[in-house]
Structure 1
Amino acid sequence: MPPAIRRLAIFAICLFGLIYLFRSRRSTDIPGAPGYRPVQKIFDEEEQSLAHAQHSYTKIRGQKNLAISPTAPLRDRLRYQFPYDLRRSFPAYIWQTWKYTPASSEFIDDLRVTEASWTELHPLFTHEVIPDETQRRLIQYLYGSVPDVFEAYDSLPLPVMKADFFRYLVLLARGGIYSDIDTLALKPAGYWLPEELDRSTVGFMVGIEADPDRPDWHDWYSRRIQFCQWTIVSKPGHPILRDMVAYVTEEALRMKKAGILKVGKMDKTIMELGGKNITYEDFSNQVERRKVGDVVVLPITSFSPGVGQMNAGDTDHPLAFVKHNFDGTWKTDPSL
């Protein structure tokens, strides 16, 4: 075969191979939800990766220690246990927490509509409502190799505090969407990012909760600008979550050692443990999505529509995705 024809044939083979890989990669996304990968495919890939890792370990066993040292800094251990790959799709998980599952007769009727809205708009997602005791077992399983994280979680004195920490923990380990049980899904997650935006460049989504442009803002809010905690979207292992989990763990264990990890004695709340100051000018009066690095910040309308202040649009606004009902049912439960 002449060299020119041979080169052309090689080029054609490579081109067809790239087209096949591109199409096969595109086909792994859930129809109607670009950038979200079916959980079953993730499980299958994890099993294959585990089998490959076990085979490789068998071949090189005794040559070197493959595991990170248990005395390594917490952030390094979290990075090792939950590596971050921006190119991955968002896992098609929806995580919610409550004292009971929807199958229980004790599940509050007022929450059934909001809980069901997530399944109705995301029929191909894996939607889990995790009750209190299951939360504990799940975190113990996910963080078995990072026992100080589980110790911090298990030491928190109130279930609502554990639930606050749980959202960061489960998203760091598994990724997907976390949303409070009293939130109503208004649009499927596939619409939360503009169609033209490459999902492989986004690893984290958060919405603005409050943007109080008034002189007495400190009388009503803890920060000049606040981000929603009730709905968060992330790929597994995201550095923001890694830092938050590490910081909450370190502070909780510090208070435990000092004997103040108790109701009424803590010198920091979970909100303060997880939050860090930002420059509010960067996001104040934001009305469109804004991408900063691999993080997309959504305007206040997206997760706080209909609040009637701070320039938030109504629930029929094109950028209104989730409505928080602010039920606060846990506040009236003496067990919490």
Structure 2
Amino acid sequence: MPTFRKSLLAALCLFAFTFFLRSTRTPDVPGAPGYKPVHKISEEQEAAELDAARLKATKGWSQQPLTESSLAPLRDRLRYQFPYRLENRFPAYIWQTWKYTPASMWFKDEYRVTEASWTELHPGFVHDVITDDLQRNLIQYLYGSMPDVFEAYESLPLAVMKADFFRYLILLARGGIYSDIDTLALKPVREWLPEPLDRATVGLTIGIEADPDRPDWHDWYTRRIQFCQWTIVAKPGHPVLRDMVAYVTEEALRMKREGVLKKGKMDKTIMEFTGPGAWTDAVFRYFNNPAYFNIQPGDRNVTYEDFSHQTTHRKVGDVVVLPITSFSPGVGQMEAGDTDDPMAFVKHEFDGTWKTDPSL
């Protein structure tokens, strides 16, 4: 029979071991936008797991076994899996996607120039062109603890949707630069932000795709101000990416349950589901979310008017919005400058391969 001294020693050892485990975690950063302390997420998961166990023990229980997706809301699981550290440096990754890698004879010659521009201007960066098969394996690896996310990706009926979804998924998990294969890098990313700006206060850099100041703008674009998603720079775990991943996952699985997640049957267009319309909405949701910004009663929302006719950098919280010239130089409209403009950073060749993709 254990003595009191032995019991006390065992309790002290257990306390020390628990303290050691907690002390080895990455420190909490309560000031980081969108950050929720790891211990808080753990408490929520433990509570949900306990509630599920109690329910299962109740007479008449006949539901499916407890699964990962039933433990906590998707956004909480994403926050726990990919915490946001605002003060961290941007990871030196460049992500692009295409059907083949540059090593393949089937890789388009015109893409060799655009793809190489990113490597040439970013020595020391890890630059990967991810093929369709590798996309699937990478998502399965990164989101293995969230089968609903992988199911949503697998269920998307069009290749362009999977390519859209992948950019949000990879940036949320790993961060860095995502840019379409038909984009030409004009300046290295270190020159995209003005020198006086503290990089430790920036978690996401995006650009304006369209600023159509005309009455029929809705015939050409999905939003009055539209943010492009062919080039995005982000630190891993950013709340906008988390929101976007959750939105696409939830909408995909909803349409799948309703039997409409099929070509020609979906109740959302590509633009509104995975494309720039949905992306723009996610950015504005973030700007107007009191969980991330000190919004007082009577404050007006951040709207397209805050970015229309923008000609230089504009910072909102930890997000830097670049003018249309930065990612769309030379388009000859909407006040965009040319490729020799000081604010021109990326030129999009607008190959539009998704429009002729045989899977559409």
TM-score when scaled to structure 1? 0.79
Any residues of structure 2 matched to 1:1-336 within 5 Å, and which?
A: 56=21, 68=45, 70=68, 71-273=71-273, 274-275=278-279, 276=281, 278=284, 279-335=303-359
Once residues 100 and 269 of structure 1 are traced to their aligned partners in structure 2, the CA distance between those partners, rounded to angstroms, is: 27
Once residues 143 and 356 of structure 2 are traced to their aligned partners in structure 1, the CA distance between those partners, rounded to angstroms, is: 31
Q: Provide structure 2 residue ranges, at least 5 long, that are not aligned to the other structure.
A: 1-17, 25-40, 50-67, 285-302
SS in 1 for 2:338: coil
Once residues 142 and 269 of structure 1 are traced to their aligned partners in structure 2, the CA distance between those partners, rounded to angstroms, is: 27
Q: Structure 2 vs 1, CA of residues 162 and 181 (structure 1 numbering), >3 Å: closer, same or farther?
A: same
Q: Structure 2 vs 1, CA of residues 173 and 91 (structure 1 numbering), >3 Å: closer, same or farther?
A: same
Q: Deviations along 1:255-297, whole A, 9 cap, x unmatched?
A: 0000000000011134313331842101000001000000000
Could you tell me how far 1:218 is from its partner in structure 2? 1.5
TM-score when scaled to structure 2? 0.74
SS in 1 for 2:333: coil
Q: Which amino acid aligns with 1:160?
A: V
Could you tell me how far 1:333 is from its partner in structure 2? 3.4
Q: Show structure 1 runs of 4+ deviating over 4 A.
A: none
RMSD over aligned Cα atoms: 2.0
Once residues 224 and 342 of structure 2 are traced to their aligned partners in structure 1, the CA distance between those partners, rounded to angstroms, is: 26
Q: Which amino acid aligns with 1:110?
A: E
SS in 2 for 1:89: coil
Could you tell me how far 1:96 is from its partner in structure 2? 0.2
Bigger mean CA offset, 296-305 vs 263-272: 263-272
Could you tell me how far 1:56 is from its partner in structure 2? 2.7
Could you tell me how far 1:331 is from its partner in structure 2? 2.5
Once residues 240 and 269 of structure 2 are traced to their aligned partners in structure 1, the CA distance between those partners, rounded to angstroms, is: 19
Once residues 269 and 139 of structure 2 are traced to their aligned partners in structure 1, the CA distance between those partners, rounded to angstroms, is: 20
The count of aligned residue pairs is 278
Q: Note if contact 1:205-1:295 (Cα within 8 Å) is conserved in structure 2.
A: yes
Residue identity over aligned pairs, in percent, reads: 78
SS in 2 for 1:229: coil
Once residues 152 and 250 of structure 1 are traced to their aligned partners in structure 2, the CA distance between those partners, rounded to angstroms, is: 8
The match for 1:46 is: none
Once residues 269 and 220 of structure 2 are traced to their aligned partners in structure 1, the CA distance between those partners, rounded to angstroms, is: 17
Q: Provide structure 1 residue ranges, at least 5 long, that are not aligned to the other structure.
A: 1-52, 60-64
